[in-house]
């Protein structure tokens, strides 16, 4: 696999600011989560406050058992650096930094890339091309797709100001959306001395004017003394919500900002791109190896598109809540103030769960019709070391047995071997190992609680490489599971 990256080094200026627990789990699979977490700030969600700083809403994402905090503020250059450093562990991946793909021509067998690198132009053939080339994607143009708003159109100009504090000052330690109709503003308290403010621009305010030091200082002054900060950057961005009309044409695919862009109000832009990569990382690999038909790649858009659309719509609604006109904002503030006089309603306002609604899985078996991540508790390896579950599973398909040997349960159906599935028995508290094969112990009783709630013992959980649950099966259902597996992946062994 070859990665063409226009920039010779990680982008030096911060952009994306937030990773949720599932995104951190994806970075864990790539071996980069530890480095990212070390420099991240963990928060429990975000606040929407009015122009006087009074809280309207406290939004938090319900923990999904992914094994990481649900909200992490990150410095994107650190994330990129961790990924670049970690990719050297994979000998089959070549990164050509400083090489820009300037044209793509797809055909039935793959695509021809026109590349410029180190001052020279050359052509390269590829069997598959994934365009992660941003909002102005040339791969999207080659596919013939266009961007459209998934619902209510949203497009606003915002000034993003990143600073470093060089003197002590008192600032909130929570992410805040300031719903001030005069100037909606977002405040992001990164770890260490980094802070960010985002200001919605008014009609007639030019990019050149608002990025001047004096103008930036005036915008910062209500929140922090400009003399106490060093400005790293001040740049105007267009916040918009749009999704590509198609994500695949032949051997060409889109991922990340080339397939979708969304306003940053719920911090899901980078998370969505990582989820794209997590799906393609296993599905496209199976197809490229010849282990599955090309039709498996069609499941990518079927599954990811509804998830992205739901997140984009939620982000647009959050942006509209904070950006109301004065009369509507006054009515909103009065309504919330009245609601807060009731402890029950106040609890609802502070218990809102951010996140996409239930999305149907495009690759699923029994009980896995809805996308549901497998919980990731801590487990104990045979030698006694304490591991996150995914580190024990490895990167492939996994078949987990609770109260049963999953290898015996699965039988000899060829579909499991074709997918390189790993079989792992999870020993519940107090359970002794009476069979051979890889096993780990449920360290804190999380699997035991899940099994008790599900009312199924023994049971087997089939898990996709991106750690969504494919299916949950009872003992004796190994043949049915193999048939579900072969059918869902188009392996021809059903």
pLDDT at 354: 56
Nearest to 443 by CA among 393, 389, 375: 389
* Domain annotation covers residue 418: yes
Report whether pLDDT(132) > 90: yes
Compute the distance between CA of residue 258 and CA of residue 265 in angstroms, rounded to an integer.
19
Strands (E), 29-136: 41-43, 46-50, 55-60, 71-73, 94-97, 99-107, 110-117, 120-126, 129-131
Residues 213 and 258 in one domain: no
Q: Is the pTM of this model over 0.75?
A: yes
Residue at a domain's end among 311, 337, 353: 353
Q: In which band, very low, low, confident or very high, does the pLDDT at 232 lie, cut at 50, 70 and 90?
A: very high
More confident residue, 448 or 165: 165
Q: Which of 153-157, 273-277, 386-390, 452-456 has the lowest mean pLDDT?
A: 452-456
* 130 and 167, same domain (yes or no): no
Mean pLDDT of all residues in 433-438: 73
Residues 349 and 463 in one domain: no
Are 426 and 446 in contact by the 8 Å Cβ rule? The answer is: no
- How far lies 438's CA from each of 387, 391, 447, 451, 460, in Å? 14, 13, 17, 20, 15
- Average pLDDT score, the chain: 92
- CATH number at 463 reads 3.40.30.10
Instruction: List, for residues 101-116, the tens digit of each pLDDT value.
Output: 999 999 999 999 999 9
Q: Are 131 and 252 in contact (CB under 8 A)?
A: yes
Quick check: is 372 in a domain?
A: no
Q: Do 269 and 209 share a structural domain?
A: no
Average pLDDT, integer, range 41-48: 93
Domain boundary among 181, 207, 240: 240
Structural domains of the chain, count? 3
Indicate the residue among 215, 240, 265 that finishes a domain: 240
Domain shared by 255 and 289, yes or no: yes
Query: Mean pLDDT throughout 356-366?
Result: 88
pLDDT of residue 494: 45
Whether 428 is in a domain gets the answer yes
The pLDDT of residue 35 is: 95
State the residue range of the domain holding 342. 2-43+59-145+248-353
Same domain, 290 and 338: yes
Locate tokens 């699979």: which residue?
29
Residues 6+ apart with CB under 8 A from 65: 373, 374, 375, 376, 377, 446
CA-derived radius of gyration, the chain: 24
């Amino acid at each position: 696999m070859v990665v063409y990256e226009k920039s010779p080094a990680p982008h030096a200026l911060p952009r994306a600011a937030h990773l949720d627990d599932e995104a951190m789990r994806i970075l864990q699979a790539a071996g980069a989560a530890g480095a990212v977490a070390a420099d991240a700030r963990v928060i429990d969600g975000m606040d929407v406050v009015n122009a006087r700083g009074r809280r309207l809403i406290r939004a938090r994402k319900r923990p999904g058992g992914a094994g990481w905090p649900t909200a992490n503020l990150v410095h994107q250059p650190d994330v990129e650096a961790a990924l670049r450093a970690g990719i050297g562990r994979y000998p089959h991946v070549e990164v050509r930094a400083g090489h820009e793909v300037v044209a793509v021509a797809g055909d039935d067998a793959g695509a021809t890339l026109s590349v410029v690198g180190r001052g020279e132009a050359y052509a390269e053939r590829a069997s598959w091309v994934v365009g992660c080339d941003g909002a102005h994607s040339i791969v999207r143009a080659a596919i013939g797709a266009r961007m459209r708003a998934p619902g209510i159109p949203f497009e606003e100009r915002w000034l993003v100001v990143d600073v470093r504090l060089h003197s002590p000052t008192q600032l909130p330690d929570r992410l805040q959306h300031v719903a001030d109709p005069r100037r909606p503003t977002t405040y992001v308290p990164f770890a260490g001395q980094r802070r960010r403010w985002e200001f919605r621009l008014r009609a007639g305010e030019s990019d050149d004017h608002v990025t001047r030091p004096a103008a930036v200082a005036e915008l910062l002054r209500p929140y922090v003394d400009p003399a106490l900060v060093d400005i790293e950057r001040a740049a105007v961005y267009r916040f918009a919500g749009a999704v590509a009309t198609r994500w695949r044409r032949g051997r060409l695919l889109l991922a990340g900002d080339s397939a979708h862009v969304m306003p940053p109000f719920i911090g899901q832009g980078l998370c969505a791109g990582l989820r794209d990569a997590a799906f393609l990382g296993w599905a496209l690999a199976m197809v490229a190896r010849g282990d599955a038909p090309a039709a498996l790649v069609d499941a990518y858009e079927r599954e990811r598109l509804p998830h992205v659309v739901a997140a984009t719509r939620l982000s647009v609604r959050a942006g509209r809540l904070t950006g109301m006109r004065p009369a509507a904002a006054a009515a909103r503030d009065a309504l919330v103030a009245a609601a807060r006089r009731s402890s029950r309603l106040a609890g609802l306002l502070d218990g809102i769960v951010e996140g996409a609604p239930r999305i149907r899985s495009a690759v699923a078996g029994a009980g896995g019709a809805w996308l549901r991540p497998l919980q990731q508790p801590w487990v104990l390896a045979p030698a006694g070391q304490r591991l996150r579950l995914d580190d024990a599973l490895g990167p492939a398909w996994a078949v987990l047995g609770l109260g049963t040997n999953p290898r015996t349960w699965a039988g000899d159906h060829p579909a499991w071997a074709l997918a390189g599935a790993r079989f792992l028995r999870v020993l519940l508290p107090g359970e002794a190992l009476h069979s051979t094969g890889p096993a780990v112990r449920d360290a804190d009783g999380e699997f035991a609680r899940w099994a008790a709630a599900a009312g199924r013992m023994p049971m087997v959980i089939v898990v996709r490489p991106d750690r969504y649950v494919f299916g949950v099966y009872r003992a004796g259902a190994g043949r049915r599971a193999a048939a579900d597996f072969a059918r869902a992946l188009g392996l021809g062994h059903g």
